[in-house]
Structure 1
Amino acid sequence: MREEKYIGYIKYEGELVKDGLMDARRQAKSLLAFDSALRYFIAKQAPDFRNLDFEIPVRVRKGSWEALIPETVAGWVQAGLGVVATAYFTKAAQKMAEKDFADFGITDLFRTAIDSIKWFARIGKHMGDVAIREFKNIKFAEDGSLVGIVNEDGEVLFVPKRIFDLYVNTNPKLLEELAANVQEGRTLAIGAMKDGELDEEVVGPSDRAIFCDENDELEDDILFPELVHGDYVVLVGEVTRENKTSNSMGFKYNEHILTAYPESGSIVPYKPLLFLKCRLFGTVNRIDEKGWIGARRPKLYFSNLEPLEDENNNGKLFE
């Protein structure tokens, strides 16, 4: 039996998926994120395709977890929608023809969408921040088909102009859910086939923060299970930030930043402790968004923060 050929994919590889397995919640979030990104870029090319319903085949095999788009995706879409698809295709084809895309088919829409997702990851890695939307010292290829964007190290990445125009108007959080699964032992690869050649971009653990909020939870397991809800604790860490709106402070404990709230009063008296090593006296809170005791990341309600450094010279006050 001839193996199905694919025009692109997302793939997780590494020690954590060596048996082709991944947590069901992670799989669901990844597929939804891939689906959303595909629909976004398809709709940018052909708005009438915005509401199309299509399936993403998933192949699980030893050594990786993959979600792939087959070359026969147009048939999948048509078969899934039946006569409804005809109206979509006819109307969309007319508008695409008006844009000189007369020879552009359904498969090409998906191919371009996957390629756009890959380029989103590549540009994000190159710039080190997907929120950057103003580019300085831009360079252009002689025929104007490529745009050269310069990162802070002076390196130039040439990007197809149509991709660049899409990128500057794309939500920076486009790949957040996909990249959230990346950690030591699991990388994300985004591949696109063009003219029989594979072009792939890999997002590794060191790239994760480019696409995800730094406070996103990396592990599915409970963070600091020894910190039990309701327990009184004394912890040593560093005060990293203040938030007057939520009346909270960031407390860096064992390389993780926990949100800490004063048991009473304002955080203002504690502002001099910002960026200092401190001893926190308080209570653990693990109430989640649904009101259950089960939050993966604990919050802290402190009665006192005791400085372990001098704010003027950072000298030790206590051993």
Structure 2
Amino acid sequence: MNPDPAAQAADVLRRIALDEILKERTMADPASAAIARRVADRYIGGETMDEAFDRLPAIFARGHKGSIEYTGESVRDADVANAETDVFVELAERIGKTGVDSTVSFDLSHIGLVVDPELCYRNVVRLAEATERAGAELMISAEGSDRTDLVLDIHGRLAERFTHVGVTVQARLHRTAQDIATLLDRPGRIRLVKGAFLEPDSIAYPRGSAELRDAYLTYASKIVKAGHLVAIATHDRDILETLRAEHGSALAAEHVEFEMLLGLGTEQLDALHADGFTTREYVIFGTEWWLYVLNRIAEEPARVYTAIADAAV
């Protein structure tokens, strides 16, 4: 059987996303950096916190809640991790002061996970305390499978002290059934995504596979039926329609919300809100958007054509 060209293209894009040398060369050249920035504009809220907050009124006007992330990952310097934590704390404090309806999302590796898990834990406690004061949920994003145990271990420690800290799980990973069983006994929202990382088939279901579709539907149904806080985070129209057919008004319960990314799934999210469901739109800001944007394009390789059009503007 010939490999799926779209799947091959997606994997190439994901490998490019991880190429730090290519990223540095691209962003060091003013002309190529300007082109990359035009492509990124579709998917990011801006490079500053002010720009991200400027996006919120339009999101709220469409009836959605917000989720803001200061983008970055895999920080390998303790001082940088501490400084980045300061930005997240500032973000939480601004949410509290303005009273906007937004969560704070982040990668643990952005605040020290790959430097030292204990450094990361100290930083995430600072952030958990700041979001608790602000009355905002704190959402830990998913990372590669090699970090899943570390992510869930830190979430478990946080769950002993806080009730508002959620965590993201990937339906692609074979281990996720057991992880969800564990998380159902902890407080904090479970955000369910398909999973965007390069993973071997021994660890994860192939993208676009029936196994992945079935896993997502199974996990979403399990969490919804358990009455646990859940964010159904997907743009997959088939999955959304199937969940609605199976669960109907149960998806309008207070513990359920649908989350989609800025620039993607806009019409779907608006339609879900119009039908009475709780909806949230995810906004990132910062200068470290390279990996995020290329992964978004890789999820649907046809977006390459959109990227070419954006670059040519």
TM tier relative to shorter chain: under 0.3
Normalization by structure 1: what TM-score?
A: 0.25
| Structure with more strand by fraction | 1
Q: Greater share of helix residues, 1 or 2?
A: 2
TM-score, normalised to structure 2's length?
Answer: 0.26
Larger Rg: 1
